[in-house]
Amino acid sequence: MTTGGSEAGPAYEVLIERGKIREFATAMQSESPAYEGESAVIPPTFLTTAARWAPAGARADTGFERARLLHGEQEFVFHGPPPRAGQRLWATERIVDRSEKSGRRGGLMRLAVVLTEFRDDDGTLVAEARSTLIERAKPTEQPS
């Protein structure tokens, strides 16, 4: 079963910072000069850090139980060259798809796709992040 998504949350500011890019590149064991200097470009998965800029209430809430939460898939799309250090983006999050499946050991597994859009000051869509989140089925109770 697939159902619709949610309204977009309020846009929040995301500043692309040179030092954060450098820190992220170190964690990804990269020595690429592309991630260094004044006009450092962001690594492909860097926008995962953008959530730290979100004020309370701006993030999409799946309602899934944290202990049963899994990250299934992640995608980043860039509509042109990826953003660089010094750029300011505006992020909005919303749930674009929800579905349910029977768990392998019974019970119901829930899935949600959260889309984050990143726009520049002019409103042009620069990048998108798409997260597929899974809430595992509750263990079925054994008859006693």
Which residues make up the interface to another protein (CB under 8 A)? 20, 23-24, 26-30, 32, 34-35, 39, 41, 43-45, 48-49, 51-52, 70-82
Q: Report whether 42 contacts 25 (CB < 8 A).
A: no
> Would you say 4 or 67 has its CB closer to another protein?
67
**DSSP H helices in 28-123:** none
**d(C-alpha 138, C-alpha 141), whole Å:** 9
Task: End-to-end CA distance of the chain: give it in Å, rounded.
Answer: 32
| Shortest Å distance, C-beta 34 to another protein | 4
> Would you say 3 or 39 has its CB closer to another protein?
39
| Shortest Å distance, C-beta 119 to another protein | 17
| Shortest Å distance, C-beta 69 to another protein | 10
Joined tokens for residue 45: 């998965």
Position 32: which residue type?
S
Torsion of CA 20, 22, 24, 29, to 10 degrees: -170
> Would you say 7 or 124 has its CB closer to another protein?
124
Phi and psi torsions of 74, nearest 5°: -145, 135
Joined tokens for residue 128: 């998108």
> Would you say 11 or 51 has its CB closer to another protein?
51
> Would you say 52 or 104 has its CB closer to another protein?
52
| Shortest Å distance, C-beta 43 to another protein | 5
| Shortest Å distance, C-beta 7 to another protein | 25
